[in-house]
A = this chain, B = another copy of it.
Amino acid sequence: MSNAKALPLLQPGEVEPCCPPLAERPLTADEAERTAKMFKALGDPVRLRLFSAVASHEGGEACVCDISDVGVSQPTVSHHLKKLKEAGLLSSERRGTWVYYRVEPAVLAAMGQLLTKAAAA
């Protein structure tokens, strides 16, 4: 079931250049809208655990079949991984029966910079 609606899905290429460090100047409404989506995706404990499970998995990638210890059903895992992908935080590739997810380093690094530079300012 696809409940992705008409939400503007963020692609890594779009996300990366967005937005100055949070302490440089106030974000515009548009910048805040885009950036908040990424933080929101990590603002759920189950999603954060899944994200961490993918990021720390051997080879930096994982499929639903690799992740079974966060206490939620496989369809729920799939649902959350898709949300993380829609936020631009994971990329995916189908191989045979399974979709493999991996972390988008550029997007993460950009988010990290927003915070780290805000902290230093």
A interface residues with partner B (beta carbon < 8 Å): 22-27, 29, 32-33, 35-37, 39-49, 51-53, 55-56, 60, 69-71, 103, 105-109, 111-121
Contacts and interface: CB of A to CB of B under 8 A. Distances in A.
B103 A108 contact: no
Given A36-B44, A108-B115, A112-B112, 10 more contacts: A22-B51, A22-B55, A22-B56, A26-B69, A27-B52, A29-B70, A32-B49, A43-B43, A109-B116, A112-B116
Nearest to A43: B40
The 8 A-B residue pairs with the shortest CB-CB distance in the complex, in nearest-first order:
A40-B43, A112-B116, A112-B115, A108-B119, A23-B55, A109-B119, A39-B42, A43-B43
Nearest to A105: B119
A53 B26 contact: yes
Contact of A111 (B44, B109, B115): B115
A60 B23 contact: yes
Contacts of A43: 36-37, 39-43
Nearest to A44: B36
